[in-house]
Chains A and B, each alone.
Chain A
């Protein structure tokens, strides 16, 4: 293989409101190599590739193809330079046939489309690369795996030399993944270059020649496959700056309040994402769930809270089984939820602080008023009380919450979710995007709930946060709990292994 850079991205930066998605990223792609971009969700992998593919425009930085500087402004532009991308959201027309999708937009056909020749060429390609698909089938009738093959065939058909695959195995069965890997190997052996985006260590180790690890929008480093092992990659991905700086209150744990048995939940793509999961949280205990994002955490939280239907399994709150999909029942039973999505799920941005505080149906108990008529005065005075108690900095209780900062918004959520003394709290990324002050406030609030005797399920991406708060750490991988460790940084490598899919008893 030649050491010829077909593509170079230099000093790419891109920020979105409030987030630095890419911070001075440089990347080099050689001819005939598989280059993996490894990092957690939110590390900036997809943003970087969307810049390369012309969907986003970089704030700063340059792109070179075959040592010539280029400016890519749209996907069609990128295709002209031979860059093709298979996005996580497929770009196929469902009502079209496979062949029609492949030739869509291509100019080398006359006014009337002759699908015969296209179909036979697709057949050839799909046989040559081991990507079986029926060119005449309508896309909406096909499985996700088949759709992905069409996306790849689309690129092969146009002869793209640089192929970006964004989390290609996320939707595939293991067999389909093997098929894909074979096709990738054949592609690079013929001189194409592949950028392989993933957060799964095993895959990255199996397929790539070089690996670039991203964290928090920055490049941690680029390494040769031969010169690194799993342990090294885990260190690069997770980072070593995990510190403990404050004591946890010691609370005697009581009976098991939240019990989950053999829970199975599907995600939006209709794939099983929580699989036979069982866990138990006692009163006064915080169970931290560590794991790479997208391994079933969200589905687990939503299923417990009743927002998502479970396929099977049992969820018990303080001895009572919770019915399918009934959120009101759960709220009455003392279950609180702090969702990760503050602006869309946890609050109504255009309503006032007061309205957001009393949005739940526990409102009447909180202000002792009739369920039929809202008592504005009582609500107002209770709102002022909560604003003081949770030190929410807002001009007034009537201010719309969209004017509040992230930290204050989260305090509004905490005030609502914690002030009626819940028995169980599900906290999903409770400090994501917050500054240190607000973070500490969230930690203190959760720890004081623990002291009061609440059972808390903490789903967080940052290990620091998990160590800081939890009494036990569970590691989730593909919807299953791989094992438990004490909340101690000395277990970080073990946790990393389990995050990558190794079972605890494996070593």
Chain B
């Protein structure tokens, strides 16, 4: 390598190396949470089964993103991109769901009427 670049700091020069202990701990946490989510699913909580499962999945996803994907150590802009993607997904999902759920009664009414005919 040439001298000009050798003097230069940067991720290629001094990359952030995640300690092996952290990687293994995250892995253990992910496996533990997988067991928890399977166990929780066995209990009848009604509506809360869905939200519990999603909450656990979100924690797992956050662990993967922060440590395996280095977001915790990375440029904040990359994290912003990731969050922006999720925010726009939420927007798409939210508004579509709002409308699709709201007009279902119309569809049901139509189906009943079609059956009656």
Chain B binds chain A: no
